[in-house]
Structure formats: structure tokens, C-alpha cells
Amino acid sequence: MSHTDATRAVEAVWRIESARLVAALTRMVGDVGLAEEFAQDALVTALEKWPDEGVPDNPGAWLTTVAKRRMLDRWRRDERFQKRMADLGRDIAERDGQAEFAAVLEEDYGDDLLKLMFVCCHPVLSTEARVALTLRLLGGLTTEEVARAFLVSESTVAQRVVRAKRTLADRQVPFEVPVGEDRDARLASVLEVVYLVFNEGYAATSGGDWIRPELCDEAMRLGRVLAALLPREREVHGLVALMELHASRFRARVGPDGEPVPLAEQDRTRWDRRLVTRGFRALRHALPSDPSEPRGPYALQAAIAAKHAQAAKAEDTDWAGIAGLYLALALATRSPVVELNRAVAVSMADGPEPALDIVDSLRDAGVLDGYHLLPAVRGDLLLRLDRPDEAREEFERAAGLTLNERERDHLRVRAGSCGA
């Protein structure tokens, strides 16, 4: 096997196995930072040995065995490591460590993966740190890949990851699935991180690309894993449905030169019907059997996306139904962004005037200052009300606020067309 082929094989295996390996090691040592260190040691060893020895039949078990040896070697020679494990209440003396690792090689990793998700998305970490750590440990992405995806420097991502692991260790965050009242809040944090990753891929906040499918793919993979681990959590299925339905539009969302294509102008025959079907399937798991029961925010958003998917043409869209769903979502979340989206739906169902009242209330409240979509929506409504000069000002204001180059160009084109 050539060095290039071996490197590719290691990278592929690492993407598949790294989260399981780190999860199992975290259960062993009780510290996610140490667990990743031992896992990385195993990765380096694979890069050294596989070009000569070939890829083993069970690469996951091979990596786990090497990580085990590294951990036990560290235990034998490093008193500070022994003290650290003692402080964490861990006993990994050689005999017990060998036995526990033998069990690790044979058992289901699902519970460990779920615990690792809750640790990576713990509220003691900043949002940026939660995202970076999740992509590193659960996604198997390198620091360089995370930095490239979010258009920040490698050193920034590395610092976020290091600080996150230090914070988790200092706060002694337990490697467990939370119970009781804490569980709902912690699960909400996990879902938030997955959705943040998806949204950054679906509509990039900065840079020259309108979408970054690789981020969406990773978020959907994490969502599907989470749904398999928590099959009774309706909101998990709601998030999966929402991502699948939105991702189905990828091929139609970007024009031939990379420019964004608005929903109303998309060629719906290019929507991925396989993802639409998967989205509808997940949505069925997200909705309560009793229609009178409240629906969660992700399930409501997925239901809105489903309304769009059900319309063969833009003019067939059930805008009244969508406006009603947005009203329920606004009452559930009290989010000004949701209220802005509701204004768009109201404009399509009842005309631009009542929608402009909603947008002007948001503008006057100052709750979305600096959010470029507020003037963008307002510009569209003003244009429909035959007020092109005011619309042009709003589109220009929106263009000045967005950091995405493609979106900025699109808004400037709209501003320029207002006099036409």
C-alpha cells in the first residue's frame, strides 16, 4: 500500500471510528482531553504502520488496542497521570485496565456516544467552543477543516478546543447522560449545536460561498445518530426532519455562477425527493399522536418546510397554513427572527401591508438591529407596495450588513433593480 493510499485509509477510518474511540476512552479515564490525546496517539501510530502493514481487518479495534497500550504505558511511568486519575476517582491499574478495555472492544458504543455528545455540548462552554469541540470529537474533523468551514484561523479553533477541554476538566463535568430537569436543558443544547452547524452550511454567514454542503452533511449525520440513540425524543426527530427537508433544496439553491436562488424562483424538479421522503418520515416521529398536544419548535419548523415540499410549484404553496405554523412557533419561542419569518408568510397569504406592520414593529423595537434580513424583508415589502426608492435604501442597508459575499451581491442587484 502506498503512503498516499494508507493516509486516505486512515482518514476514512478515523472519520468513522474516532467518536466511538474517544467516547470509550473518556469513560475509561473520565477526562475528554486525555481521551482525545490517547486517541490521537493511536492515529499517529496508524499513519506510521499501515503503509507497511496494510489496513487491519478490524481497524476500530486496532486503534482501540493501541490507545489502550498508550494509556497503560502512561499509567506505569507517569506519577502525575496516576494522581490525576486518582483525583477523578479512576482506577486503571494494569489488570483492571486490561479487563475493562477487553469489554470495551466487544460492547455497543451507543451509550458512550450519547454521553460524549452531552459533554461536548455542555452549557459551561461557549457556543463557539461547543461547535468546535463537537466537530473535532464527534465529527472527526481536523482543526484545519473546522477552521476552513467557519472561515477562522486554525489557531483560533485550536484555542477554542484547548480551552473547552480545560474547562470541562476544571469543572469536572461528568461523563453521563443527564437525568431529571437538567436533561431537557442539556438536550436542547445538543440540538442547538447540531442546528448551528447545519445553518452555517445552509446559509453561510460569511465568505464567498452561499452554501457549504460538507457542514450540512456532518450535522445531518450527527442528527441521525442522535435520533437512533434517543428514538423517543420527538424534538430530535423534528430537527432531523427539518435538516433533511432543507437539504433537499441544495441543487436548486445556487445558480450557475454560485449566486443564491430565492425559494420562489427555484426549480423544484431539482429538489432531492429522497431527502424529502426521509424528512417526512422523520416528521411523523416528531409530531404527537394527539393533534391537541403542543409541538416542539423543531417539529414546527419541519412542518413549515414540509408545506413547501408539498407544493409542486411556488404558487401552490399553502401560505395561510405556513403563517399559522409560524404563529405557533413565535408563541413557543418568542423569537424576533421567527416573527420576521412570519411576516414573510403573512405577506404571501394576506398581502404586504399587514406584513409591513409586523416588520416595522420589529424595527421600532430595535431587537434585530444589525440583522441584515430585517431590511432585506422590508425592502421586498416596500417594493411590492410600489415604493421603490424606500426599497432601494433597505436593500442597500441589508447589503452593508451581511458578511456573505454572494448574498451581498444579490442584495445590491436587487437595490439596482428598484428603479427599473
Q: pLDDT tens digits, the chain, 420 residues: what are they?
A: 566 777 788 888 887 788 888 888 888 888 888 888 898 898 889 888 888 888 888 888 888 888 888 888 887 788 777 777 776 666 665 444 455 545 544 444 568 889 999 999 999 999 999 999 998 888 888 888 888 777 789 999 999 999 999 999 999 898 888 888 788 889 999 999 999 889 888 876 656 666 778 889 989 999 999 999 999 999 999 999 999 999 999 999 988 887 888 899 999 999 999 999 999 999 999 999 888 888 999 999 999 999 999 999 999 999 999 999 999 999 999 999 999 999 999 999 999 999 999 999 999 999 999 999 999 999 999 999 999 999 999 999 999 999 888 889 999 999 999 975
**Can you say whether residue 89 is alpha, beta or left, with left for phi > 0 and alpha for psi between -120 and 50 degrees?**
left
**Cβ proximity of 204 and 150 under 8 Å:** no
| Cell numbers placing 6 | 494508507
Radius of gyration of the chain (CA): 24
C-alpha distance from residue 193 to each of 131, 186, 256 (Å): 6, 11, 31
Q: What single DSSP character describes residue 417?
A: G
What span, in angstroms and rounded, lies between the C-alpha atoms of 167 and 165?
Answer: 5
Most distant CA atoms of the chain, gap in Å: 80
Residue-by-residue DSSP string for 76-91: HH-HHHHHHHHHTT--
**Cβ proximity of 21 and 63 under 8 Å:** yes
Q: Give the residues across from 206 on adjacent strands.
A: 403
Q: What pLDDT does 317 receive?
A: 96
Q: What single DSSP character describes residue 206?
A: E
Q: What pLDDT does 95 receive?
A: 43
**Cβ proximity of 201 and 214 under 8 Å:** yes
